[in-house]
Copies of this chain bind each other. A is one copy, B any other.
């Protein structure tokens, strides 16, 4: 028995898209649920592969096709290749996945000299018949013989010019006849053979052409580009379908529809149609289509059928459908349907509505929305209709859009911001001392640094748009300007940033506000009920914590205490701490920091109560709090010059008044003050040089600092515990969690724990009750993963720092990799994704699994989460779910996405397991 390569729409399996292609399966499905689809059949993708393999159609294929054609003849009463009511068919490709780049549709196949005559006789419409014929000859010539369109189009245009008509519609039957005849001659000339009059030969050539198009350059490129692997789509099917005509008169029409409004999600008839027209006329824009509602008046019966069709489609597919239809002589045919593509607002609304209508389950309502789609709803975005030409492009470092005046330093940004001006902070790179500028700015633009640069990370934390590393922009702070090629942006010029795309525009582009609707709240509430993973936020300030709460965060998974050090009134104290030569000096600075940190924590705990707040002790190397060597050298030079001025050796220069590095106002300064500043800067320079590291990422940071300077961690621990006591006194329930960064061995944890125990004992004596808090560790070194069992004996929770872990696993410094070789690795297909954005489950994921297994073996109820940037990425969240984590923590604006993704992870359990085991 030979393999079955051809299936009638009546018996093809509507679920088997691999074999029948998406389009073919849908046509079978619709036919079998009683929708009026013109009769037809599908030639399988398997036949395509066999053809490509053997360079010949499989044995018996054309016999089976012939048999199906006979069935069509029987069903329609038409005859193929002969007679007065000739059977015409469309031939379309269709693989398992939607894929542009394969052949276009061939319409009206089955026309030849004989059937043309029949068609004319039958319809009495010579113009209609010749129009159909010339279209068929051109398409067929192109697809089957590879004849370029221009060979046809030139002549066609000539005829129009000669005839003095502008639109095709102006051409008469005579014109079209002449054109058809000429087209046959074109085929003969270009293909070196006659246009086939044998309709079975036409069909055979068309099928072969479709099959060949699977290996066409555009299709192959497309599959590579979008990583469509053979298990996703392998070969294309061919759909052969009886032609129906919307252009046979005023009782004919053709149109497209959505079962709901794809812009708003409203449950209403939505779509357009044209009477007496072919499908392509609707999109060609020559005639203006009418809204579907008009059909109710024009053809009330057919409108009723269309409403019924729409309802059948939605209730069968349980999804909003995007469909095509044709009305031929009063009969409604559905030609195609597929899931409707909608914007985020519409997706959310339709999910909530369809659940209310009992059309879909809650699980379906959640699953049909790609979590990433929600991004649209969480940030203002540029009005797509108002976008202008880009000025420059950088990395999309923090989503959202904002416009404002360019400002080149943080002080001015703060000043203007306080005056109510909208500003964009523009810097070569930002540093911790710029933090007050971030607070004041609408957005941040830098010309250097990657997605993990200071600017990017801080902006994401604050939920402000940021474009980083826009290398085309040369920032000249001294001149108060930036240059892009020849164009100069002056301070005060308005620019617009699109943090979602990394594009920078000149002038203001209006934005569309974020839209956290009631529907979205409803949907995410379902997600929370469904998900196993909790979603926490990374937030360092009370403001960020409040925002995260709005987004539905269930606590703070990562509060980076060093961010608290950066505020402009605190940094000088931190610098004093770093410059300290003795423990006593350092302690004095810490004593000044303690009440400040305590106040921070009180506020943070109060905002988040009663949710947990995980505080990470100091992590970055000390030199990050100091200016760069370069900056210090410049500042020292400036100060020396300034001292000369103060000493009266040089005339005071007016420019000094505005120079950012110099104290103001000028008049109040004494030589002594300048000298003091100079001495301090020189001490800083010495320290900066002392702290210089070859690979700071792998240097003296994290718990290594805590061990070297136990008094720093002690201050932080004390301020956390005292804040908890304060809150507790006010009746506020708090759950502080103390987390240690960069741990490699349990000995480090034990050392910090001793300090905690001593402080706890002291405080408990004072307040007369037990303090409640958790002690935990970041898992962000590889060694921590290998020693997780031992670490777990010392802590109550783990939190994976997947940014550092990825750096260590790949031996890629993120900053260096993203600016240099990572794009090359992605382009050449060596790496699929950027592992700093999407968790590398194959490598880093193995380490995580190892740590989870060993950690839980040692402590069954160990709480485990992730607080790296990947914690907000749906695929990574899915991995975390399956690795058995308890929570993910991500930046506030990613929280809604993570909530939905966590629900997906739970719902897709089975699918994931079978794919990964």
Q: B809 touching A843 by the CB < 8 A rule?
A: no
Cα(A787)–Cα(B835), bound, Å: 15
Q: Does A494 contact B (CB under 8 A)?
A: no
Q: How many angstroms between the C-alpha atoms of A786 and B846 in the bound complex?
A: 7
A750–B783 Cα distance when bound, in Å, is 29
A707 at the interface (CB under 8 A from B): yes
How long is the Cα–Cα vector from A793 to B128 in the complex, in angstroms?
63
A909 in contact (CB, < 8 A): no
With beta carbons under 8 angstroms apart, the residue of B695, B825, B828, B843 that contacts A698 is B695
| Residue A144, interface by CB 8 Å | no
Known: A824-B708, A830-B751. A783 touches B695 (CB 8 A): no
- Could you give, for residues 813-828 of chain A, a 1 whenever the CB lies within 8 Å of some chain B CB and a 0 otherwise? 1011100110011001
In this assembly, does A286 line the interface, its C-beta being within 8 Å of a C-beta of chain B?
no
Closest Cβ neighbor of A742 among chain B residues: B811
The CA of A239 and the CA of B695, in the complex, are separated in Å by 57
Asked if A694 and B696 make an inter-chain contact with CB atoms under 8 angstroms apart, the answer reads: yes
Bound-complex Cα distance A807 to B698 (A): 8
- Binary CB contact string for chain A from 263 to 285 against chain B (1 if under 8 A, 0 otherwise): 00000000000000000000000
Asked if A829 is at the interface (CB within 8 A of a chain B CB), the reply is yes
State the copy count for this chain.
Answer: 2
CB distance from A458 to the nearest CB of B (A): 17
Inter-chain contact B816/A698, CB cutoff 8 Å: yes
Q: How far is the CB of A729 from chain B (nearest CB, A)?
A: 37
Measured between beta carbons, the chain B residues less than 8 angstroms from A825 are 704, 707
Cβ-defined contact, A782 with B843, below 8 A: yes
Q: Which residues from chain B contact A675 at a C-beta distance below 8 Å?
A: none
CB of A512 to closest CB in B, whole Å: 37
A828-849 contacts to B (CB < 8 Å): 828-831, 840, 842-844, 846-847
Quick check: A810 and B781 within 8 Å, CB to CB? yes
> Which A424-480 residues sit within 8 Å CB-CB of chain B?
none
In chain A, positions 11-69 with a C-beta closer than 8 Å to chain B are none
> A761 vs B236: C-alpha distance in the bound complex, in angstroms?
37
The reply to whether A811 and B816 form a contact with Cβ atoms under 8 Å apart is no
Docked-complex contact A694 and B694, CB < 8 angstroms: no
Q: Is the C-beta of A699 less than 8 angstroms from some C-beta in chain B?
A: yes
* Interface flag for A728 (CB, 8 Å): no
In the complex the two chains form, is A708's CB within 8 Å of B821's CB? yes
Counting chain A residues whose Cβ lies within 8 A of the other chain, the interface size class is: 35 or more
CA distance A851 to B809 in the complex (A): 13
- A783-B843, A830-B707 given as contacts; is B700 within 8 A of A697 (CB)? no
A820 neighbours in B (Cβ, 8 Å): 693, 699-700
A707 to B842, CA, bound (A): 22
A787 to B842, CA, bound (A): 7
- The verdict on A126 contacting chain B, using a C-beta distance below 8 Å, is no
Shortest distance between the CB of A587 and any CB in chain B (Å): 19
Contact across chains for B821 and A786 when beta carbons are under 8 A apart: no
A744 within 8 A of B: yes
Cα(A731)–Cα(B821), bound, Å: 43
Contacts of A704-745 to chain B: CB distance below 8 A: 704, 707-708, 742, 744-745
- Contacts A699-B820, A700-B820, A704-B821 hold; do A781 and B811 have CB atoms under 8 A apart? yes
Query: Which residues of the partner chain B approach A804 to less than 8 Å between Cβ atoms?
Result: 811
Does A812 count as interface, using CB distance less than 8 angstroms?
A: yes
**CB < 8 Å neighbour of A829 from B747, B780, B781, B813:** B747
- Residues of B near A696 (CB, < 8 A) are 694-695, 816
**A811-B698, A816-B699 known; A787-B843 Cβ under 8 A:** yes
Taken residue by residue from 859 to 901, chain A's Cβ proximity to chain B (1 for < 8 Å, 0 otherwise) reads as 0000000000000000000000000000000000000000000
A435 vs chain B, min Cβ distance (A): 20
* B-side contacts of A828, CB under 8 Å: 707, 751
- With contacts A707-B830, A747-B830, A830-B747 taken as known, whether A698 is within 8 angstroms of B786 at the C-beta atoms is no
Are B816 and A693 interface neighbours, CB within 8 A?
yes
A493 at the interface (CB under 8 A from B): no
The verdict on A409 contacting chain B, using a C-beta distance below 8 Å, is no
- Check if A847 sits within 8 Å of B747, measured CB to CB: no
Known: A748-B830, A782-B843. A813 touches B708 (CB 8 A): no
Whether the pair B699, A697 counts as a contact (CB closer than 8 A) is no
User: B698 and A744: CB pair below 8 A?
Assistant: no
Is A599 close to B, CB under 8 A? no
A821 CA to B742 CA in the complex, in Å? Answer: 13
Q: Could you say which residues of chain B place their CB within 8 Å of the CB of A700?
A: 816, 820-821
Q: Closest Cβ of chain B: how far from A866's Cβ, in Å?
A: 17
Contact among B745, B815, B840 with A695 in the assembled complex (CB-CB below 8 Å): B815
Closest CB in chain B relative to A459 CB, distance in Å: 19
A608-632 vs B, CB cutoff 8 Å, 1 = contact: the mask equals 0000000000000000000000000
Q: Digit string of A781-801 for contact with B (CB within 8 Å is 1, else 0)?
A: 111001100000000000000
Find A813's partner among B699, B742, B817, B842 (CB 8 Å cutoff).
Answer: B699
Residue A763, interface by CB 8 Å: no
* CB <8 Å contact, B830 and A810: no
Distance in Å from the Cβ of A692 to the closest Cβ of chain B? 9
Question: Which of A745, A751, A828 has the most chain B CB within a 10 Å cutoff?
Answer: A745
Do A843 and B744 touch across chains, with their CB atoms under 8 A apart?
A: yes
CB-defined contacts of A807 to chain B, threshold 8 Å: 698
Residues of chain B with a CB closer than 8 A to A748's CB: 830
How many angstroms between the C-alpha atoms of A821 and B748 in the bound complex?
13
Chain B CB within 10 A, most for which of A744, A748, A840: A744
Q: Which residues of B contact A842 (CB under 8 A)?
A: 786-787
- Asked whether A808 is an interface residue with its Cβ less than 8 Å from the other chain, the reply is yes
Complex: A702 Cα to B811 Cα, angstroms:
11
Residues 681-703 (chain A) with a chain B CB within 8 angstroms: 693-700
Distance from A451 Cβ to chain B, minimum over Cβ atoms (Å): 14
**Cα distance A843–B811 in the bound complex, in angstroms:** 17
In angstroms, Cα B742 to Cα A21, docked, is 43
Q: How far is the CB of A1 from chain B (nearest CB, A)?
A: 39
A812 to B847, CA, bound (A): 18
- Nearest B residue to A804 via CB reads B811
Find out whether the CB atom of A811 lies under 8 angstroms from the CB atom of B810. Answer: no
* Residues of chain B with a CB closer than 8 A to A704's CB: 821, 825
Residues of chain B within 8 A of A830, CB atoms compared: 707, 745, 747-748, 751
Given A707-B824, A787-B842; A812-B698 close (CB under 8 Å): yes
Task: Report the minimal beta-carbon distance from A7 to chain B, rounded to whole angstroms.
Answer: 39
Q: Shortest Cβ distance from A868 into chain B, in angstroms?
A: 14
B813 with A695: CB separation less than 8 A: yes
Cα A831 to Cα B747 with chains together (Å) = 8
Complex contact A815–B694 (CB within 8 A): yes
A696 shortest CB reach to chain B, Å: 7
A450 to chain B, nearest CB (A): 10
Contacts of A695 in B (CB 8 A): 695-698, 813, 815-816
21 contacts between A and B (CB under 8 A): A693-B820, A695-B815, A695-B816, A697-B811, A697-B813, A698-B810, A698-B812, A698-B813, A698-B816, A700-B820, A700-B821, A704-B825, A744-B809, A747-B830, A747-B831, A781-B809, A782-B808, A782-B843, A783-B810, A786-B844, A808-B811
Beyond contacts A698-B811, A699-B817, A782-B810: 16 other A-B pairs, Cβ-Cβ < 8 A, are A694-B697, A694-B815, A695-B813, A695-B816, A697-B813, A700-B816, A700-B821, A704-B821, A704-B825, A708-B821, A742-B811, A782-B843, A786-B843, A787-B842, A804-B811, A808-B809
Contacts from A to B (Cβ < 8 Å): 693-700, 704, 707-708, 742, 744-745, 747-748, 751, 780-783, 786-787, 804, 807-813, 815-817, 820-821, 824-825, 828-831, 840, 842-844, 846-847
Nearest first, the 10 A-B pairs at minimum CB distance are A695-B813, A698-B813, A783-B843, A786-B846, A747-B830, A699-B816, A695-B695, A781-B811, A782-B809, A695-B697
